Amino acid sequence: MNAIENIITRYRLHKTQCDKRRKEIDREIEHLKQERERLNNPHWTEGLLRPVMAEIARLTPEIDWENNDEFYPIDLRGAITVFGRTKRGRPVCITFTESGHDLQFDSGQIHNSFSLKVLKDIGGTNNIMESVGDGEPLLHYIRQRMLFLEQHPGMGK
């Protein structure tokens, strides 16, 4: 009878150990779920665009940039345009796209690979984009745009 008692004891011990381990695993799973929630990355508009525009606004005090609570995509690429006005009231805008964790902006040039009035042209996918990089390419673009507006007073009114 001792052998049967040992079998039952071992079985109960095994079940107790399994239940204990299941509880440990459940606690670890819950901990990992909470950790995963904390790892949710911000959308590119919050993690890239908003901080870059805050710095651009600081570096271009001659432009009053719109302060958007939220950014909304405007075309087939999911691009977002940020608007501003020079002190003389001239509009300035920058269209941004996120590409592979890189913030890019429309350079103002287009690819001529499509015939005019093609859907891709309308959707903005033939725009030549440039990486914001360290900010210099974007500042150069803004300054060139402002210079163009100064040289062409009839534009952008």
Q: SS in 3 state form for 129-155?
A: EEECCCCHHHHHHHHHHHHHHHHCCCC
Q: Can you give the pLDDT at residue 115? A: 58
CA angle 109, 115, 118 (to 5 degrees): 90
**Contact indicator for 76, 87 with CB cutoff of 8 Å:** no
What's the pLDDT at 126? 65
Q: How far apart are CA 152 and CA 90, in angstroms?
A: 11
Q: Show the tokens assigned to 110.
A: 């287009």
With contact defined as beta carbons under 8 Å apart, do 135 and 59 qualify? yes
Contact status, residue 138 vs residue 105, Cβ threshold 8 Å = yes
At which residue do the structure tokens 């690979």 appear?
Answer: 113
**CA separation, residue 47 to residues 15, 53, 79, 101 (Å):** 49, 11, 15, 10
Residues of the chain falling short of pLDDT 50: none
Each domain of the chain, given as residue ranges in start order, spans 1-40, 44-151
Q: Where are the beta strands (DSSP E) in 66-116?
A: 80-86, 91-99, 102-110
Q: Which of 94, 96, 104, 97 is nearest to 144 (CA)?
A: 94
Residue 63 is inside which H or E element, if any? strand 63-65
Q: What is the pLDDT of residue 53?
A: 92
Full-model pTM: 0.67
